[in-house]
Amino acid sequence: RASIMVEQNRLQEAFKLFIECLEECKTYGFVYTEIDIQNRFALLLEKRDQSKAESLLQASYAKAKSINNPRLIAECALLLAKQLYKKHEFDESKMYIKELLHIAATENISKLLVDGKELEAKIYAELHKWQKAYITLSESYEQEKKTYNEKLIGQSSAVHQNRIAYEKNQYELEIKRLELISEAGSLIASAMDTKTIGSIIYNKLKNLMPINAFGIAIYNQKKSELLFDYFVENDIEGEPFTMHIDSKDSLAAYCIRNNKDILIRDVFKEYSNYVEKTQYVALDNNEPVHALMFCPILIGTSVKGVLTAQSRQTGVYKQHHLETLHALAAYAGVAIQNAKLFHDVQLLATTDPLTGIANRRKFMDAFFTEIERTARYGNSMSFIMFDIDLFKRINDTYGHLIGDLVLQKAAELAKINLRNTDFIGRYGGEEFTILLPNTHLEGAKIVAERIRSSFEQAEIEAYPGKLVHFTASFGLTEFQDGDTMDTIIARSDHALYYAKETGRNKISWER
């Protein structure tokens, strides 16, 4: 009657009747029945009054302890452990599990061993200790197989074992997922560019989920665009591409703008939740992608990029797949930040801070490499050294700030007149050097004259109404068999000296 009243939510009446039952048990000394009734009523109450249910279970546990009945103690401990597990009080729950497992092992109570191990495995899973969860559940499974004679296993037991086997498989998958994420994290940590980071993540994800396309993009806030530096489809890497952050058709742009994960099971049914129209048509005359995930890459709270995984299978991605992508995005964020710091340090070590071009150390490294390449393949190479004319007079007349502006302007104009394959550096003071790969002396003369002319026409405002002009003298030479850096610099320097001695603002050369 009390149980029926609980189901009808007539708790006060049920509790009154329950007290009467317990009083009867105490009157006649029915200790075991008292504990049993108390436990049954606690289980009925737990959904409606969890604290009262726990109090009843504690009372049962204390009563079992008082009569020193091992089996009852273990059964009460199991009920308390389950109650605490539901409240996510895992440490307290494990304390009772430890006690019941000890009793069950000592008293050879197989059913309690199985139930205790199974509950312990669930706690480890909640704590994301998947290896321990798997081992503990395996022990429970093996214990249950020992408990039942195969001929006597009923359908319910078979179902139970199938469920445990399924959970074991899920734990195995989770262990594999975490191991692969950890491996990827270690590899990503040492990556110094986006393509390497993307390649590592893609090759790990392929072992965890179906992927037909994958990409990593970096957000350039100044240009308001996303650069997909690494995008692969069906294991074929495509060319880098960009998209504007304000694009109304891009899920990647939506992810960045809103700093929000996207999990889509069927893009043709769900895209309108995010964008105005879908871009996801067949890219290579195959079936289009259907399932997509996008995850922002964060550095602190700032969005720096996006990861995307895409599949042609509808509904293939679940929440745990997105969580995996999220974990890898976190590693990617750290790696991108490290790569940027590394790049910044490298830039400081190899760049002239005033002009922004290569410093002498960087230039000499490039010079040495180019000489080796030219000698090995029999190519041509020319070398230019130029020096700002009367630079000391500019500093003395207008001050060092104007002198700095002259050096900056000279570097800027020289770069404008060079190819991407050419290399310019600040040699020291007002001297600059230029490498011209695959260029004969006649070609170098044309380049030098173009730069000289641009200097001659340049104007720098020293102060309102006063413009400063500057010129430079140039010494050129071409690589000869047997040349070293020293011999090339010596010839070019000699030609430069001649240009200055014969009037400045001119080019001179020496073969």
Residue 243 maps to which CATH number?
Answer: 3.30.450.40
Q: Which residue stretches of the chain have pLDDT < 50? A: 149-156, 281-283
Quick check: is 354 in a domain?
Answer: no
Q: What is the pLDDT of residue 160?
A: 59
- Using alpha carbons only, what angle is made at residue 357 by residues 352 and 362, rounded to the nearest 5 degrees? 70
Quick check: is 425 in a domain?
Answer: yes
Separation CA 234–CA 225 (nearest Å): 25
> Would you say 406 and 388 are in contact if contact means Cβ atoms under 8 Å apart?
yes
Up-side HSE of residue 55: CA atoms within 13 Å toward CB?
5
Domain of 93?
Answer: 2-176
Residue 476 three-state SS: strand
Q: What is the pLDDT of residue 492?
A: 97
Whether residues 170 and 209 fall in one domain: no
| CA 9, 13, 15, 21 torsion-angle sign | negative
Q: What is the pLDDT of residue 374?
A: 94
Residue 245 three-state SS: coil
Record the tokens describing residue 330, joined without a space.
């976190």
Whether residues 54 and 105 fall in one domain: yes
Whether residues 18 and 115 fall in one domain: yes
Read off φ and ψ for residue 182, nearest 5 degrees: -65, -45
Whether residues 217 and 115 fall in one domain: no
Assign residue 442 the CATH number of its domain. 3.30.70.270
Q: What is the pLDDT of residue 145?
A: 60
Q: Find residue 431's DSSP bridge partners.
A: 387, 428
Runs of H (alpha helix) within 148-280: 155-189, 194-205, 251-258, 267-270
Task: Check residue 321 and report its DSSP letter.
Answer: H
Q: Which amino acid is at 285?
A: N
Whether residues 209 and 330 fall in one domain: yes
pTM attached to this predicted model: 0.52
Quick check: is 104 in a domain?
Answer: yes
Q: What is the pLDDT of residue 26?
A: 79
Separation CA 334–CA 249 (nearest Å): 29
Angle (deg, nearest 10), helices 360-377 and 485-501: 110
Q: What is the pLDDT of residue 180?
A: 76
Buried b (16+ CB within 10 A) or exposed e, 90-126: beebbebbebbbebbeeeebeebbbbbbbbbbbbbbe
- Tokens 């000279």 locate to 410
Quick check: is 280 in a domain?
Answer: yes
Please give the sequence-ordered ranges of beta strands (E in DSSP) within 234-349, or none if there are none.
Answer: 236-237, 241-244, 262-264, 291-299, 302-311
Whether residues 40 and 77 fall in one domain: yes
Dihedral in degrees, nearest 10, Cα atoms 14, 16, 20, 26? 100
Taking 3-state DSSP, the helix, strand and coil percentages for the chain, each rounded to the nearest 5, stand at 60, 15, 25
Assign residue 71 the CATH number of its domain. 1.25.40.10
Domain stops at, among 310, 342, 374 = 342
Task: Check residue 287 and report its DSSP letter.
Answer: P
Up-side HSE of residue 127: CA atoms within 13 Å toward CB?
18
Whether residues 170 and 202 fall in one domain: no
Whether residues 140 and 218 fall in one domain: no
Quick check: is 351 in a domain?
Answer: no
For the chain, the domain total comes to 3
Quick check: is 158 in a domain?
Answer: yes
Q: What is the pLDDT of residue 155?
A: 45
Whether residues 114 and 225 fall in one domain: no
- Tokens 């695959």 locate to 438
In terms of phi and psi (left: phi > 0; alpha: psi -120 to 50; beta: otherwise), the region of 128 is left
- Tokens 């690589």 locate to 479
Record the tokens describing residue 236, joined without a space.
């074929």
From 287, 300, 284, select the one nearest 231 (Cα to Cα). 284
Which percentage of the chain shows pLDDT scores above 70? 89
Q: What is the pLDDT of residue 286?
A: 63
Quick check: is 365 in a domain?
Answer: yes
Q: What is the pLDDT of residue 176?
A: 73
Task: Check residue 272 and report its DSSP letter.
Answer: G
Whether residues 319 and 423 fall in one domain: no
Whether residues 25 and 172 fall in one domain: yes
Domain stops at, among 316, 342, 368 = 342
Quick check: is 295 in a domain?
Answer: yes
Q: What is the pLDDT of residue 262?
A: 93
Domain stops at, among 280, 308, 342 = 342
Whether residues 370 and 264 fall in one domain: no
Separation CA 213–CA 226 (nearest Å): 17
